[in-house]
Chains A and B, each alone.
Chain A
Amino acid sequence: MLEIQNLYFSYKRKQPLFEDFSLSLPDGCIVGLLGKNGAGKTTLLNIVSGLLPPQAGKIAVNGFTPFERKPAFLADVSLIAEEFSLPQVSIAAYTSALQPLYPKFDGAKLDKILAEFELSRANRLHKLSHGQRKKFLIAFALASNCRLLILDEPTNGLDIPSKSQFRKILVSSITDEQTVLISTHQVRDIENIIDSIAVLDNGRAVFADTLENLSRRFRFELADTLPTNALYAEKSIGGQRVILPNDADSEETEIDLELFFNFITNKTYE
């Protein structure tokens, strides 16, 4: 579904952002794309969606080369950027204008999601807050039934109840054929909905795997004292949050994504 091989990308007069970057994501997964500031998360999303061309390497999304921007590819990919622009019309007018360009668009699904977000087709887009407009875009993207949904910091600008609504709606709205790629700094906002993570650091995907495998391989505990076999530890209230190797017969623990991200980006993972 999404296949990136040996990607190289650099902005003018800057250090290369990606060098020999490879990543492969199957159909039907929700992937959390994590990385420090400036790691290239947004740039990667722009490359995947066809807004930027790779300078070297190969990239294929649903069998298409994104930068060729073929209509069939564009109709099957939906990107919600952190900053976006919408025309000064009502949701109804915008939807009726744009939905014919998305062959798999489901109007009933849109109405259902809009209702859950407490929005209606009568709302005028320019009179909505940034968060409400973002909720509309999320609703439209989900209703478009695109095979690839790309969300860049989707929870930025959403209030606390909306974040929880977003998680619920996302999980209930996508099908097994759809892949969702979510880039975020807010690890806690997405930790319960993603089933895979990809961590970007120094121009490479330093970790890309399912949470299931992650849980099989590591244990996350709160310990009073630092265990001798700890792979990584951080001081916390009530002790130390530690990552330990998971023995074959050990019980799986709840994943602490924030701790794991710090572990991965502070130490070369092998």
Chain B
Amino acid sequence: MNNSFFSPSRFARLAAYDLKTKYKTYLIAVVAAFVGFTIINYLFLDADEAEIVSRTLNHLTYSHSLASFTVCLTAFFVCAGFSFPALSSKKSAMGYILLPASTFEKYLLEFLIKIVIAFGVFLLVYYLAANLSASIAEPIFNNRNADFLELKHARIDLQPFTFRFVYKNTYITTVQSGSAYVDTIDKVSVMGTFFVGSILLFLFNIRLFFKRFSLIKTVIAGFFVYYLFFQLMSLLGIAFTGDKNTAYDFKFFYPYYDYLFIFTIITLIVLGYYKLKEKRL
């Protein structure tokens, strides 16, 4: 039967069920994220106060901290690790598995909510929180440094946060950190996006891959995967170039990383779907 796999109307009903029964959890998560991100952003601005004053005096613009964005993005990743919450216990798993919808519909809904929509909401919440914390910090910093700024006839004016800062900072940080073969910002963006996406998908599927102690198992599995990955790249680097000095220099494979991460993402999606399909109590 065709609609055993996907039916738009059934999918809509499943989505409505999810939203009606979990809207409070989602709202709490958004509010908690907004408050948390505002605090984190403020703390990073506070730590950068001296630099902000210095840049103001030198007529330079202060770019918001990439570190605060990274911390908040990490929090988003951790939240992705709590996808498929119903599978955390036998009691709730039973109800979830027996919901009258196809496995594909259940997987797709979770993917849309926890990855696609959640990422959009994350960006929006982060944007609002970063600007709120900047508008809170600005008068505080002006007040704290009033005497000093008055002497120089200056005033701290924090520029509104934009994602261009994050983009630009990522590029500058990557290039400055010594990744000599990172030649264009586009390359960094594309590869970085796929790399981040593969980690996100792995976290998204945690509860499907591991029944118990999922976090510990994920850390151990992640460690071994990355260890094996780097060892393999090193060995292949030597094998292809014949130069032992190329060990751990991944320049040779650099053009293929995009494909590797895309392959990882697709594999994780397919694997996650089949793990859910075969999920047993």
Interface residues of A (CB under 8 A from B): 46, 49-53, 69-72, 74-75, 77, 79, 81, 83-89, 93-94, 96-98, 100-102
Q: How many angstroms between the C-alpha atoms of A85 and B16 in the bound complex?
A: 19
Contact A71–B4 (Cβ < 8 Å): yes
- Chain B contact-residue range equals 20 to 34
Which residues of chain B from 236 to 281 have any CB-CB distance to chain A below 8 Å in the complex?
277-278, 280-281
Contact A85–B99 (Cβ < 8 Å): no
Known A-B contacts A84-B91, A101-B10; the reply to A50 vs B17 at CB < 8 A is no
Any A CB within 8 A of the CB of B193: no
16 A–B pairs (Cβ distance < 8 Å), ordered by A: A52-B281, A53-B278, A69-B97, A71-B101, A74-B98, A75-B100, A83-B91, A85-B89, A85-B92, A85-B94, A86-B95, A89-B20, A93-B21, A97-B17, A97-B20, A101-B101
Contact B13–A100 (Cβ < 8 Å): yes
* A101 contact set on B, CB distance < 8 A: 10, 13-14, 17, 99-101
* B74 contact set on A, CB distance < 8 A: none
| Residue of chain B at shortest CB distance from A86 | B95
Contact A98–B94 (Cβ < 8 Å): no
Any A CB within 8 A of the CB of B103: yes
* A50 contact set on B, CB distance < 8 A: 97-98
Contact A71–B21 (Cβ < 8 Å): no
Closest 7 CB pairs of A and B: A97-B20, A75-B100, A85-B92, A74-B100, A85-B91, A87-B21, A51-B281
In the assembled complex, the CB of A162 is this many whole angstroms from the nearest CB of chain B, namely 21
Known A-B contacts A51-B94, A97-B17; the reply to A74 vs B99 at CB < 8 A is yes
Interface residues of B (CB under 8 A from A): 1, 3-4, 7, 10, 13-14, 16-17, 20-22, 24, 89-92, 94-95, 97-103, 105, 277-278, 280-281
* B24 contact set on A, CB distance < 8 A: 88
Known A-B contacts A70-B4, A85-B91; the reply to A98 vs B98 at CB < 8 A is no
Task: Give the A-B pair count, Cβ closer than 8 A.
Answer: 77
Contact B91–A89 (Cβ < 8 Å): no
Q: How many angstroms between the C-alpha atoms of A49 and B103 in the bound complex?
A: 15
Contact A49–B20 (Cβ < 8 Å): no
Q: How many angstroms between the C-alpha atoms of A102 and B98 in the bound complex?
A: 12
Further 20 A-B residue pairs, CB within 8 A, beyond A70-B4, A101-B14: A46-B281, A51-B280, A52-B280, A69-B102, A69-B103, A71-B4, A71-B10, A71-B101, A71-B105, A72-B1, A74-B99, A79-B94, A81-B94, A87-B21, A89-B21, A93-B20, A97-B16, A98-B17, A100-B13, A101-B100
* A94 contact set on B, CB distance < 8 A: 21
Contact B94–A74 (Cβ < 8 Å): no
* A71 contact set on B, CB distance < 8 A: 3-4, 7, 10, 100-102, 105
* A83 contact set on B, CB distance < 8 A: 90-91
* B10 contact set on A, CB distance < 8 A: 71, 101
* A98 contact set on B, CB distance < 8 A: 17
| Residue of chain A at shortest CB distance from B7 | A71
* B7 contact set on A, CB distance < 8 A: 71
Contact A53–B100 (Cβ < 8 Å): no
| Residue of chain A at shortest CB distance from B3 | A71
In the assembled complex, the CB of A73 is this many whole angstroms from the nearest CB of chain B, namely 8
In the assembled complex, the CB of B99 is this many whole angstroms from the nearest CB of chain A, namely 7
Contact A102–B91 (Cβ < 8 Å): no
| Residue of chain B at shortest CB distance from A88 | B24
Contact B21–A97 (Cβ < 8 Å): yes
Q: How many angstroms between the C-alpha atoms of A230 and B218 in the bound complex?
A: 63
* B98 contact set on A, CB distance < 8 A: 49-51, 69, 74, 77, 79
| Residue of chain A at shortest CB distance from B6 | A71
Contact A87–B94 (Cβ < 8 Å): no
In the assembled complex, the CB of A199 is this many whole angstroms from the nearest CB of chain B, namely 24
Q: How many angstroms between the C-alpha atoms of A89 and B92 in the bound complex?
A: 15
* A86 contact set on B, CB distance < 8 A: 95
Q: How many angstroms between the C-alpha atoms of A88 and B1 in the bound complex?
A: 35
Q: How many angstroms between the C-alpha atoms of A94 and B94 in the bound complex?
A: 17
Q: How many angstroms between the C-alpha atoms of A35 and B242 in the bound complex?
A: 69
Q: How many angstroms between the C-alpha atoms of A94 and B281 in the bound complex?
A: 23
Q: How many angstroms between the C-alpha atoms of A100 and B100 in the bound complex?
A: 10
| Residue of chain B at shortest CB distance from A77 | B98
Q: How many angstroms between the C-alpha atoms of A51 and B105 in the bound complex?
A: 18
| Residue of chain A at shortest CB distance from B88 | A85
In the assembled complex, the CB of A178 is this many whole angstroms from the nearest CB of chain B, namely 17
* A84 contact set on B, CB distance < 8 A: 91, 94-95
Contact B22–A87 (Cβ < 8 Å): yes
In the assembled complex, the CB of A121 is this many whole angstroms from the nearest CB of chain B, namely 14
In the assembled complex, the CB of B276 is this many whole angstroms from the nearest CB of chain A, namely 10
* B16 contact set on A, CB distance < 8 A: 97, 100
In the assembled complex, the CB of B5 is this many whole angstroms from the nearest CB of chain A, namely 9
* B20 contact set on A, CB distance < 8 A: 89, 93, 96-97
* A88 contact set on B, CB distance < 8 A: 24
* A77 contact set on B, CB distance < 8 A: 98
Contact A85–B95 (Cβ < 8 Å): yes
